[in-house]
A and B are shown apart, each in its own frame.
Chain A
Amino acid sequence: DAGVTQSPTHLIKTRGQHVTLRCSPISGHKSVSWYQQVLGQGPQFIFQYYEKEERGRGNFPDRFSARQFPNYSSELNVNALLLGDSALYLCASSLGGSGNTIYFGEGSWLTVV
């Protein structure tokens, strides 16, 4: 079975541009979360979606938005990119509910120049 898949794997954007990152959860998983990981740090929570509804939001500006589709895949959008947005963006999925294992994809490497 496929794990959590993310696209694109690498991308370079210019300051002020917009980016859309995509995630397909493990089949049967209804919960998708997004994390930002900058070099040398642990992942930081951005959003969680469950059954197409936003269930949690981390301490990120409104330039960050996300949505979950009926097939449970998800998109993370970042507007007005800043150099500091350069990071590895990770998607994680789970069945949802306490105690269910949370699995991560390999991430999308975003470089803002």
Chain B
Amino acid sequence: GESVGLHLPTLSVQEGDNSIINCAYSNSASDYFIWYKQESGKGPQFIIDIRSNMDKRQGQRVTVLLNKTVKHLSLQIAATQPGDSAVYFCAETPAGGTSYGKLTFGQGTILTVHP
């Protein structure tokens, strides 16, 4: 039978390095953006979110940057650890109303951290 391979962008880093994962979104009406981490065989795990009225938000070892002008989102992970190895997805949703809860996911990036 036909095999289906993963065609996601990949990022390989050494343990302790900083990682930057990028995401382009298409809907200029999107108001709320979320980064998820998905390990093999598991559901997406919330990392950090940002509203469209902000351009930067920091969490523990993670920072999200939002550039609405070019519709670009990035996730920075400081001091990357082997446990950070996973697929990272950005997701967007329009503001409020009946559209809220309908997330549109980006392509995903495979992050591999080498000890």
Task: Classify chain A: how many residues form its interface, as a range.
Answer: 20 to 34
> Provided the pairs A39-B4, A97-B96 are in contact, do residues A105 and B43 lie with their beta carbons within 8 angstroms?
yes
Residues of chain B in range 9-51 having any CB-CB distance to chain A below 8 Å: 31-32, 34, 36, 42-46, 49, 51
Q: Tell me the complex Cα distance, A88–B40, Å.
A: 12
> Provided the pairs A101-B49, A102-B103 are in contact, do residues A56 and B4 lie with their beta carbons within 8 angstroms?
no
Q: Tell me the complex Cα distance, A45–B100, Å.
A: 12
> Provided the pairs A40-B5, A42-B108, A106-B43 are in contact, do residues A99 and B32 lie with their beta carbons within 8 angstroms?
yes
Report the nearest B residue to A88, measured CB to CB: B43
> Provided the pairs A40-B6, A101-B46, A103-B46 are in contact, do residues A56 and B101 lie with their beta carbons within 8 angstroms?
yes
Residues of A within 8 A of B108 (CB): 41-42
Residues of chain A in range 25-78 having any CB-CB distance to chain B below 8 Å: 31, 33, 35, 39-45, 48, 50, 55-56, 58
Report the nearest B residue to A103, measured CB to CB: B46
Within the complex, what minimum Cβ distance (angstroms) separates A19 from chain B?
18
**Contact B101 A94, beta carbon cutoff 8 Å:** yes
Within the complex, what minimum Cβ distance (angstroms) separates B78 from chain A?
22
The answer to the question of B79 belonging to the interface, with a C-beta cut-off of 8 Å to chain A, is: no
What's the tally of chain B residues with a CB closer than 8 Å to chain A? 33
The answer to the question of A21 belonging to the interface, with a C-beta cut-off of 8 Å to chain B, is: no
**Contact B31 A98, beta carbon cutoff 8 Å:** yes
Residues of A within 8 A of B106 (CB): 42
**Contact B51 A99, beta carbon cutoff 8 Å:** yes
Q: Tell me the complex Cα distance, A55–B102, Å.
A: 9
Within the complex, what minimum Cβ distance (angstroms) separates B57 from chain A?
12
Within the complex, what minimum Cβ distance (angstroms) separates A46 from chain B?
10
Sample of 5 further A-B pairs with CB below 8 A, known A90-B44, A107-B42: A35-B103, A39-B6, A97-B96, A104-B43, A104-B44
- Ordered by A's residue number, 6 sampled pairs between the chains whose C-beta atoms are within 8 Å are A35-B103, A40-B8, A56-B101, A94-B101, A97-B96, A99-B32
Q: Which 7 A-B pairs have the closest CB atoms?
A: A42-B105, A98-B96, A104-B43, A48-B101, A40-B6, A106-B43, A104-B44
